[in-house]
Each structure stands twice: as structure tokens, then as C-alpha cells.
Structure 1
């Protein structure tokens, strides 16, 4: 494998981050989301804001950007229990979303992204992480399980242009051990 690394994404990475998001979701979620939802993934505004805040890290292999993670403090509505109450650690819970292009998968990029994200989050006082994963996305669920994250019993159903998308929330410690 060529040199692999994790770096803070910059404005110069915006187009590639958007492309990876769009193309990976179109491939991975074609059976879960209607095409009209997948076709709206081309917007740059949300990504631009996240990059400006320093919340996006990119994975590289050689000269190629191969994936990214968005990691920041979890908003209260994302960390709330099913009854709407906040857990004791709500103020120190982080929200992560990791995505690696399938053609670059199974090479350690996702784990490296999460390891660097949780290292940085730990420096800010974060103690636990959460992520939302489509229930039918077994690959992503398996990835988080290998990190020691499990479903915490909270589910949500999103309206994806009239098609329900059920997501589970996974949760786990902010510690990731990289393999040798």
C-alpha cells in the first residue's frame, strides 16, 4: 500500500469530499434511498461549513483522497434518549460519520480516520462517541462493532422522499487501537 495518512480537510478538498459522499452513497444506498434523495447530495454548503470548522478529516493513500470522517460534539437531539431526556454524558458525547470509497475499503482507512478523530475529540474532553447507521447497512454496522461500538437501543426513521429509512444509533468508547 502506498503511504496512507489522515489530514485535516481544507477548502481545497471540498469538491473531492462531495464527490466521495455522492458516489459512495449512490453505490451503497441505491436500494435504500430513492434516486431523488441521492441526486440531492451534490450540495457544497454543509460540507463547506464543516470543513471551515475543522470537523472533517480526510484519509489519503498516496496522492488520492479515499475517505473522510466528520467528527464534532453531538447536538443534544442526536444524543438524547428515546424519551427525549439527555444522558449524563451528553456534554462530552461526540457525533461521528465515516465514509471510505468502496474501492479503497478494507485497507484500514476507516479505522485510521476514526482513531485520529477520537484522539482529537479526546483532547477537547469528549468521552463517548455515537454514529447513526442505516439498519440495513451491515458493512457499516460491522465496522463500528469492530471498534467496540454497539447499538444502544435508539432508532429513528427518516422520511427519504416518502420512503422510510430506519437508522440505529451505535455508541462506544473514544478509543481505537490500530492493528500492527
Structure 2
């Protein structure tokens, strides 16, 4: 079995991350995303990922052997409204479905939690499409829970309803 790891992404990884993003959208979110989003050229997103990484944004890349299989990005800002439990945000965490159930999601979640703890966050938040039951099962197994907050994203087609999940960054148990 090839070795698996998670490492900080580099600007040179931006094209691979954009390709992973589109692949996950096409394979896991085809029922909720508009057709135009699913047909986007990855190069459109690669520049944004490169700029984010170059500016010091936390983007993590999961690999199996030499192949990129997933990625995560965490927010730089911490919500300090509750000083005893400051909150950081996982903005995205994707593993290509073909590479699922091999621990990549757990390693990405653990690395994202570690990155958020460095910023001072103690709790994490993550918005997940309500229709994404696979990620919901993953988060439940990791000890996270829905916190009852929902939002609707206007896609220009059918809106995407997302649920907010919260979990302790100290107790990531995957």
C-alpha cells in the first residue's frame, strides 16, 4: 500500500487542487450544483487557489503515494465572541470519492483542526450541504454535531441548503 499523508499545499499544487475541486463537485455534488459549475475549467479556480496559498492561506493537500486525493482550506479569522471557546472555520474539505474510506478525510480533518488551534480556535465550524449524507456520517463519527443553523446559497438555479456543523478541535476523533 502506498504511503498516505497530508501536507501544506504549495503554489505549484494549485492546478491539482482545482482539478480535485471540480472532480469532487462532479462526482459528489452533481445533484446540488448547477451544470455550469460542474463544467467549469479547473484553470478558472487554479489562479484563486495559487493566490490564496501565496498569500499565506492555510490549504492542505492529502496524497496517497504521489497522487493528490483531497484537500482542505481553513479560515484565517477566528470568531472571538465567546472568549472561552473561540471558533475557527473549515471552509472546504474534499476527498475524491474513489479515495474515500482510506483515512484521508480523517487526516485532513486532524490537520485542519491543528491549523485552527494555532490561530487560537478551540471549536471548529464547517458548512455542509444538507444533501451530503456521506460527510454528515463522517462528521458524526468524528464527534461533531449539527448546531441547528442553516443557510441557503443562491446558485442561480436551485438554492443549496447547508447545515452548520461544530466540533471540538481538541477532540478530533477519526
Superposition TM-score tier, normalisation by shorter sequence? 0.7 to 0.9
The equivalences for 1:5-154 within 5 A come to 5-40=5-40, 42=42, 43=44, 44-52=46-54, 53-74=56-77, 87-89=81-83, 92-96=86-90, 97-154=92-149
Q: Which runs of 5+ in 2 are unaligned?
A: none
TM-score using structure 1 length = 0.85
Deviations 1:85-139 (A, max 9, x none): x852598311112100111110000101111221232122111100011101100
Q: Which runs of 5+ in 1 are unaligned?
A: 77-85
TM-score using structure 2 length = 0.88
Deviations 1:2-55 (A, max 9, x none): 111111000110110000000111111111122013234732233123322241
Residue-pair matches, total = 169
Whole-Å Cα distance in 1 between the matches of residues 49 and 123 of structure 2?
Answer: 24
* Runs of 4+ in structure 1 over 3 Å off: 73-76
Whole-Å Cα distance in 2 between the matches of residues 20 and 29 of structure 1?
Answer: 13
Structure 1 residues 108 and 132: alpha-carbon distance in aligned structure 2, compared to 1, 3 A threshold = same
Whole-Å Cα distance in 2 between the matches of residues 90 and 151 of structure 1?
Answer: 20
